[in-house]
Structure 1
Amino acid sequence: MDTKALRQKILDLAIRGKLVPQDPNDEPASVLLERIRAEKQQMVKDGKLKAKEIKNDTVIFLGDDNLHYEKFPDGTVNCIEDEIPFELPEGWEWTRLQAICEPITDGTHKTPTYSDEGFIFLSSKNVTSGHIDWDNIMYIPESLHNELYARLAPQKNDILLAKNGTTGVAAIVDRDCIFDIYVSLALLRIIGYIISPEYLLSTIASSTIQNYFNSSLKGIGVPNLHLEHIRTTLIPVAPINEQYRIATKLEQLLSFADNIESDKTDLQTTIQLAKSKILDLAIRGKLVPQNPDDEPASVLLERIRAEKEELIKQGKIKRDKKESVIFRGEDNSYYEKIGDTVTCIDEE
């Protein structure tokens, strides 16, 4: 079974609203997005956000002609039907990442000075599996940490997204921990965590979003995913209760897929060991019973030597001066004869 394809199928069903049933009593996603917009306005009033950080926020809606439109802060409206990858269920909405996350930024562009101890420093190498690898980390000195942390202070439930390397792979910060990040990682923070981080992570991991990321890569040599493309990524938003149901179901199904992959690996290992054992038994003469009436191998080898001698006489091959004959001596030890030299090879 192709477990990678199975995982993608599960994720694609999730973001299309086909993994769990819809509940008509759920608060629609439009209300959820309105709450996020209100929260962002309040954050501007409280000085937690700058007005320029929300100036590109848009509202996506379905027009009377059943086409999708995007309304910009200046009041202009554009039809974006050609950007919409699929239709959503009733109660769902399309939005862009920048409308639900702030900040969306990356780590330091400076090449860090590492130290043997100090503060944790993560890069895209730490999110290759879709989970943060806290075991293989680098450290930076306190002076550099203070500089970086003043600009960007990651926190639990933020999402780290690889901009290069394993481009598009993301992971949730799953612990309260002080650390800094490199430019190869983007940080996405959901406004008020009003949207489920687990749901957003699964959306990012879907083939729809991954294909968009891949089509947006720029650069020669090591392509990069730019922040502008991350910010404008279209995201399907489910009602919040359905997000929780989806996250719960995904945990069950993806765990099942992981178990299949593990079982497949164990089976492949067992098959390989069995093949090696069978081959080992074969070359030791323990795979099939011996027949005392069989012509011994010594006669077979003698026939081969006689054939080679004939070929040498005919000039078809040259004599190999290092050709050897292996035999068992009267002391039951094995010997190798090369020319006039005889050597015991029992240790071999």
Structure 2
Amino acid sequence: MQKGNPDTYAAALLAKIKAEKQQLIADGKLKQEKPLPDIDFLSLYELPHNWQWTKLGAIVESLRYGTSQKCSYSKNGFPVLRIPNLKNGVIYKSDLKYTLMSDLEIEGYSLQNGDILMIRSNGSKSLVGRTSIVSSDCEGYAYAGYLVRLRFIENLLISRFLYLVLESKFVRDQIEIPVRTTTGVKNINSTEILNLIIPLPPLAEQQAIVEKVDYLMKIVDQLEEQIKHRKKLAEDLMQTVLREAFE
């Protein structure tokens, strides 16, 4: 392992992300960020030596709320992703609405492959903060006001890994516990999102974790299919036994 290598050391990865963001700020493509509060490391568990605790705001290139323009099913203008289009990390395009936007709005709200959309406001605390990854077939789509777009430095973070972290119990507790006693609509604002604490492994380990989780999820899917098949066989067998008993 080389300590200056983002593939093997998270500290080097964070330093590279910081340098890239500073360059974007210098080029006028990003606004200067407010400093993030320090992390209370005493309240956190120990990570592998080449991992790093960080806040989401330290690795996000930009965060933006969705458009407030009215949408309709009239297929006139740009497709707009809404809360019903986000489910289990995937974006579904079966219930799209559309809106008209100016050139400036198109530039600001157009999604890119690898962006993460987060639900920022909902009546159910279990849906607040839920995320889905934008795939290449949704590039150029806009997104509605109850969603927030998280964009990351290209090739320095793996969106699929970040999705898994944001769906973990550790992060979900950070989101759900503060809104547990809130009545009515529950919200998470940009400051709260940027201050979410996450464990960050180096790039190579992010990829390894994603591959392992995806492999295990395929096994789970196969087992579920087997259970459904055996349940169907059992039901068919029961119907056969009952039919023979009454004939």
What TM-score, normalized to structure 2?
Answer: 0.84
- Please name the residue that 1:47 is paired with: 28
What letter corresponds to residue 63 of structure 2 in structure 1? I
- Distance verdict in 2 for CA 1:217–1:271, change over 3 Å: farther
Cα deviation code 1:88-118 (max 9, x no counterpart): 0111101111110132222123443442444
**In the aligned structure 1, how far is the partner of 2:233 from the partner of 2:192?**
45
**In the aligned structure 2, how far is the partner of 1:175 from the partner of 1:230?**
25
- Please name the residue that 2:166 is paired with: 204
- Distance verdict in 2 for CA 1:281–1:169, change over 3 Å: farther
Aligned with residue 144 of structure 1, among 101, 107, 120: 101
**In the aligned structure 1, how far is the partner of 2:128 from the partner of 2:240?**
41
- Please name the residue that 2:9 is paired with: 28
- Between 157-166 and 246-255, report the one with greater CA deviation: 157-166
- Please name the residue that 1:10 is paired with: none
Q: Secondary structure at the match of 2:199?
A: strand
- Please name the residue that 2:130 is paired with: 169
CA contact (8 A) 1:216 1:225 kept: no
**In the aligned structure 2, how far is the partner of 1:40 from the partner of 1:24?**
23
**How far has the Cα of 1:204 moved from its partner?**
1.1
Q: Secondary structure at the match of 1:144?
A: coil
**Over alpha carbons, which structure has the higher Rg?**
1
**How far has the Cα of 1:273 moved from its partner?**
3.9
Aligned with residue 242 of structure 1, among 195, 202, 205: 205
Q: Secondary structure at the match of 1:40?
A: helix
**How far has the Cα of 1:281 moved from its partner?**
4.3
CA contact (8 A) 1:120 1:137 kept: no
Q: Secondary structure at the match of 2:112?
A: coil
Within 5 Å, give how 1:1-348 maps onto structure 2.
Answer: 27-51=8-32, 54-57=33-36, 70=38, 80-81=40-41, 83-84=43-44, 86-134=45-93, 136-141=94-99, 143-144=100-101, 146=103, 148-163=105-120, 164=122, 166-176=127-137, 177-217=139-179, 219-282=182-245, 285-286=246-247
What letter corresponds to residue 263 of structure 1 in structure 2? Q
**In the aligned structure 2, how far is the partner of 1:43 from the partner of 1:146?**
22
**How far has the Cα of 1:171 moved from its partner?**
1.8
**How far has the Cα of 1:236 moved from its partner?**
0.6
What letter corresponds to residue 233 of structure 1 in structure 2? L
CA contact (8 A) 2:85 2:96 kept: no
**In the aligned structure 1, how far is the partner of 2:116 from the partner of 2:201?**
18
**In the aligned structure 2, how far is the partner of 1:32 from the partner of 1:207?**
24
**In the aligned structure 1, how far is the partner of 2:216 from the partner of 2:64?**
32
Gaps of 5+ in 1: 1-22, 59-69, 71-78, 287-348
Gaps of 5+ in 2: none
**In the aligned structure 1, how far is the partner of 2:23 from the partner of 2:141?**
28
Q: Secondary structure at the match of 1:120?
A: strand
CA contact (8 A) 2:83 2:146 kept: yes
CA contact (8 A) 2:56 2:198 kept: yes
